[in-house]
Amino acid sequence: MKFTDAQKKVIVARREKGESVRSLCSVFNIPRSTLYRWCKSHKTNTIANGIPFTAREINQMQNRIVKLNNIIAILKTVNCTVSAPLRERLVALETLYGQYDVYTLCEALNVDRGTFYNHILRNKRENAWFAKRREKYRRIVQEVFDEYHQILGAEKIRTVLVERGHQVSTKFIASIMHECGLSSVRTTARSDYLRLNTLETPKNRIRQNFTAHSPNQIWVSDVTCFKIKDKYYYICVILDLFSRRVVAYTISKKNSTRLVTSTFKQATIARGRSHNLVFHSNRGSQYLSHTFQQLLQEYRVKHSVSAPGHPHDNSVAESFFASLKRENLYRKEYKSANAFRTGIAEYIQFYNEKRPHKLLKNPANLRNSTFQMRHSRSYRVISEFHFCIFVVSLFHVSLPGKTEKSAKPVASRLCGYKKDHAIDCLNKQFTLRGVFQRCRKILLFSFAKGSLQHPFQILCSCNFPRS
């Protein structure tokens, strides 16, 4: 039930006559807090001439007195009266805009508030007063912004200015801050800190061009996870875009920088250090960490990362994980970590050796080619050794009787190393058995000493005995 002011005054009068609060609340079905509030606002006070007034009426009269004083001050300030033309009154009120509220200004010179607002908005851009006022507050906002160490936004700056007697809005302060290029450091602190304390983010060098013309030209990498008995296992792989083989992989219980670095080191052990290698990955914190960036710089590897929010930039690695989960993980139930690791190893071996790839023109030849190095160090030596034997035997069969002049271009194209040494070795008459044994001893001894030279370079720098 809604009570009028007259009814409230009657209830308050009954309370002043001595009636209890409990009985009044039960009769009129109102809470005690409401009755107390009515008694405070409608309590009659006797003033000097004996006229009774409530506290509410006294408050209204005080506000009216303040308003009349402001109207008197306005009329003393302006150079026109209420009977002046509307244009003159609007111009006079415009000079006081911001010092008094709009209600008081319009009541002082009898101007409609809508008319006054239209005048203000119409002349805002071309009015010199607005330009001076805006320039004034540019200086004030800048001073407050610097005073509070550049941590305040528009709302808090407006609070400070209101406390100092300025009647401004948050929108007005925000527009001035935008014009002056002021921005709270609280909003940009994290980005500024990361920009100053992190290495430069690598660029996307591939741009979804997943074509490699030779092994160890472009490696792609990614990390995925799989849950086994309430535990997550993270798998990091590195693939060669030339043959789409898995060069190295690592399984760990933590998705950390150590997982990525260990996988990369395995790949370099299996393939050796390559010149002009591009390592492509997503923008994960592991790949962008300071430790991994230093490792790539040490190995002189160019880093390429996907663009933010573009998973297709690393679609080769994503596709491999999709095949791994669809063809193996989702079809089997691994009950232990050892079984999971064994299953991953078997699938990767199947993926590298037997599983055909639709993008490769001749998957079997590419993946099993002697040009393609294997995972283990021993297989890498054997495969490259056989390739060297092939070249040496080719020259042994096809070049007898040929002059050095005719053989030199062919040798340089195939070997690309020391031309004189290559021609000197290849022009000699060998038996294939003797070449095989001699090359085997030289290569095994060189790799045992930790040599990182290419087998061509090793063989071409040696002297072979005549058969």
For residue 400, is pLDDT > 70?
Answer: no
Q: Which residue has the higher pLDDT, 406 or 90?
A: 90
For residues 154 and 256, what is the distance between their CA atoms, to the nearest angstrom?
41
Q: Which residue has the higher pLDDT, 32 or 295?
A: 295
Contacts for 382 with CB less than 8 Å, ≥ 6 apart: none
For residues 251 and 287, what is the distance between their CA atoms, to the nearest angstrom?
16
Amino acid at 55: A
For residue 123, is pLDDT > 80?
Answer: no
Task: Label residue 133 by pLDDT band (50, 70, 90).
Answer: confident
What domains, with CATH codes, occur in the chain? 1-35 (no CATH), 128-192 (no CATH), 218-367 (3.30.420.10), 377-460 (no CATH)
For residue 387, is pLDDT > 90?
Answer: no
For residue 342, is pLDDT > 50?
Answer: yes
Q: What is the pLDDT of residue 274?
A: 81
Task: Label residue 457 by pLDDT band (50, 70, 90).
Answer: low
For residue 193, is pLDDT > 80?
Answer: no
Query: Three-state SS across 90-133?
Result: HHHHHHCECCECHHHHHHHHCCCHHHHHHHHHHCCCCCHHHHHH
* CB distance 251 to 344 below 8 Å: yes
For residue 162, is pLDDT > 70?
Answer: yes
Backbone angles phi, psi at 335, to 5 degrees: -100, -5
- Cα–Cα nearest to 324, from 462, 223, 422, 435: 223
Task: Label residue 6 by pLDDT band (50, 70, 90).
Answer: confident
Q: pLDDT tens across 290-304, in order?
A: 899 999 999 999 999
Q: Which residue has the higher pLDDT, 173 or 419?
A: 173
Backbone angles phi, psi at 240, to 5 degrees: -95, 125
Bridge-based pairing state of the strands 44-46 and 302-305: unpaired
Question: Which residue has 């450091």 as its token pair?
Answer: 185
For residue 425, is pLDDT > 60?
Answer: no
